Amino acid sequence: MASILNADTSNGLKITSDTSGELKIQSAGADIATVDSSGITMAAGKTIPAAALTGTLPALDGSALTNLPGGGKVLQVVQTVKTDTYTASGYTTWTDITGMSASITPSSTSSKILVMTNLQYSISGYGGIRLMRDATAIGLGDAASTRLQSTMGTKYLRTVNDIASNTSLYLDSPSTTSSTTYKLQANLQYDLAYTLYINRGANDDDATYTSRPISTMTLIEIGA
């Protein structure tokens, strides 16, 4: 036996069910096809019209998803992971932090880029961190007299083995389809003796109470 789905010409749709796991499709009581765990079997003399098979299905490899309607689609992700340490002093002007950059080529001028940064650092002094898109500073606080306009502030860690974590999320609109580079810069204004340490503490004692973390920059293209 089988569960039967019958398009009856007198009484409309008629359903007769059982527990066989087989579905029989009928029209006016005549078998059209049987569906079971092995697939679909057409009844004798019944076929699928060739016109119904014209064309091909889109590839299910992600490329078919780029033409879906509506915005907010993730189109691509790029990430830089900095695992080594970095030390620099005397940043009285904005200077690139080595290894904290990533490049992306937007697929459309209407795309937005979500820039996610996580910086593990120690600093013997004060300063600021800012985000750059190519040569343009973005995601800055308001100007206020001589204060540094920055994306992230820094914390003066007076315990020499402490490590701070700074995280930033910024949604940018680069309006381009050219390769675009995002990076972090540091500025240790006020004292040339101030030192910035990335992925380590200032003292960096060789002991189990110190650590060596990672810093990351992740770029996510969001379709309009």
3-state secondary structure of 39: strand
Residue (of 155, 154, 163) closest to 204 by Cα position: 163
Q: Are 95 and 187 in contact (CB under 8 A)?
A: yes
β-bridge partners, 27: 7, 30
- What whole-number distance in Å separates Cα of residue 148 and Cα of residue 128? 7
Of how many residues is the chain composed?
224
Q: End-to-end alpha-carbon separation of the chain, Å?
A: 53
Domain boundaries, the chain: 3-47, 71-222
Residue 216 has pLDDT above 70, yes or no: yes
* pLDDT single digits (tens) 1-48: 788 877 878 777 778 887 788 888 888 888 888 888 888 888 888 887
Q: Is the pTM of this model over 0.85?
A: no
Q: Are 172 and 115 in contact (CB under 8 A)?
A: yes
Would you state the torsion angle of the CA atoms of residues 48, 51, 55, 61, taken in this order, to the nearest 10 degrees? -30
- What whole-number distance in Å separates Cα of residue 168 and Cα of residue 118? 7
Q: Write phi, then psi, for 47 (nearest 5 degrees).
A: -140, 165
- What whole-number distance in Å separates Cα of residue 122 and Cα of residue 165? 9
CATH code linked to domain 71-222: 2.60.120.1340
* pLDDT single digits (tens) 59-90: 555 555 555 555 679 999 999 999 999 998 87
* pLDDT single digits (tens) 192-212: 668 889 999 988 888 988 899
Q: Write phi, then psi, for 100 (nearest 5 degrees).
A: -105, 65
- What whole-number distance in Å separates Cα of residue 112 and Cα of residue 176? 10
What does the longest C-alpha to C-alpha distance in the chain come to? 94
Residue (of 97, 115, 103) closest to 199 by Cα position: 97
- What whole-number distance in Å separates Cα of residue 169 and Cα of residue 150? 13
* pLDDT single digits (tens) 103-140: 999 999 999 999 999 999 998 877 889 999 999 999 99
